[in-house]
Amino acid sequence: MIPRYVITDHHFRALAAGDGDADTVALLLAGLYSKRLLLVQAVRERTRLVADPDAIASLDAAHALLSRVEGVAPAVVREAMTHPRVGIWAAQCLTSASAGYLACVAASAALATGTRFDLEVPVQDGMVSLPALGTASAPAADGTARLRSSGRGATLTAPGLLVTVPADHRAPAPGWCPARMLRAPQLPVGPELAVELDDHGPYRTSSGLRAGPPLTGTQAARWSGTLTRAWRLLTTRHPGSAGALAAGIRTLVPLPAREDDQSNSATVLNAFGAVLLTQPHDAASLALTLLHEFQHAKLAALHDLLPLHTAAGATRFYAPWRQDPRPVGALLHGAYAHLGVAGFWRASPAPIAAAEFAYWCAATRVALVQLAGSGELTDAGQRFVAGMGATLDGWQAAPLPDHIRQAAAERLAANLTAWRTRHCGLDRELGSGAVMR
């Protein structure tokens, strides 16, 4: 039976305030696991409707192997099933993607526990990708290959192909590239951070986003050094968030560099734990990106367990951080993420910190006013927005120089004027924000 979970008032209030510790993230992950089980069940049902005997047999074999591993190591299966790639694959599988990737998920769990198996696995782009473990090169294979494990390591075979996956999956071998793991050391004030630098294989991004090419050793070392410095900053200035980040972030997915050398980052809402981003310029920008994007992840996981808004209608809202009008869900996501941005600047000693803090508090307030009056929030959503507002109230009660507050107001007013100019269909206002139909 698939477990059901309830968000307690304690955890809800923590999330609404913009926080949430490792225990809160553990609850979100438990709910995510149930969702993934439901998605896999839906994929199996859809495959049976399509009536493809080979696909049905592949899914049944993968599901049976997962059940075997779960019988001896349920935590390993939970870890495998909540990998970010599994969410992207399952969502795509309900429309177009191959159902066979579940075999790679099952094989990863089985190899991690030393379980014997013999499984057909899909070859995609000349490789067999085992989430969280690594990638086997299979350029000569046509569609599928055979992965067999005796309990210590495995062999991947196809006509003209033999790749040995070592018992220590972290060790490289001919044809085998282990997953890149980055570790930011534990400091006296915080936990260790261990994340996968996910630069190989399928299902790393959603449609509309292109993942970057595989990294060189030099490039990976640069990511590692920046992450270590960013983690030192986060555990020192944001100790409350560091525990949640360590519990929730599983992968960093490199995005291609932009031509203008500007940073770019994203969260795929069905890939909890993945942060997609370009090579960070410095530790501070990476720390801010992790805080910002993990806000999106927490909100998406909470909304799955406890809907915060109704299905988006025709109404579109003004978001100070976007040029385009946004539906209610996107506005809520933006407000929650930028509450995290304001919190970052609140603790920063940088010369621009006070100005950025004042602006992002004011910008988030604009969004909250619109959300509260939108008529599209559930009761839980109203309480959630009120919790965010209470956090802003506490922050904005602290004294700031008048010229800092005035500059933030002027910046916000200029932003709104430019937005209205772009969107002349504006027909009414809500508080200090604007709404379009």
Comparing 314 with 332, which gets the higher pLDDT? Answer: 332
The whole-number pLDDT of residue 186 equals 76
Helix (H) or strand (E) holding 338: helix 328-346
Confidence at residue 407, expressed as pLDDT on a 0 to 100 scale: 97
Who has greater pLDDT, 112 or 311?
Answer: 112
**CA 332 – CA 228 distance, rounded (Å):** 31
Q: In whole angstroms, how far apart are CA 123 and each of 136, 140, 201? A: 9, 10, 10
Digit-coded pLDDT (tens) for 185-206? 877 777 999 999 999 999 999 8
- The predicted-structure confidence for 125-143, as pLDDT tens digits, reads as follows 999 999 999 999 998 778 8
Residue 209 burial class via C-beta count within 10 angstroms: exposed 0-12, middle 13-18, buried 19 and up: middle
Residues 6+ apart with CB under 8 A from 7: 15, 27, 302, 305, 306
Give residue-wise pLDDT tens across range 83-93: 999 999 999 98
DSSP state of 124: B
* Cβ–Cβ under 8 Å, residues 285 and 275: no
Stated length of the chain: 437
- The pTM for the full model equals 0.94
Query: Which one-letter amino acid corresponds to residue 104?
Result: C
DSSP string, 398-416: S---HHHHHHHHHHHHHHH
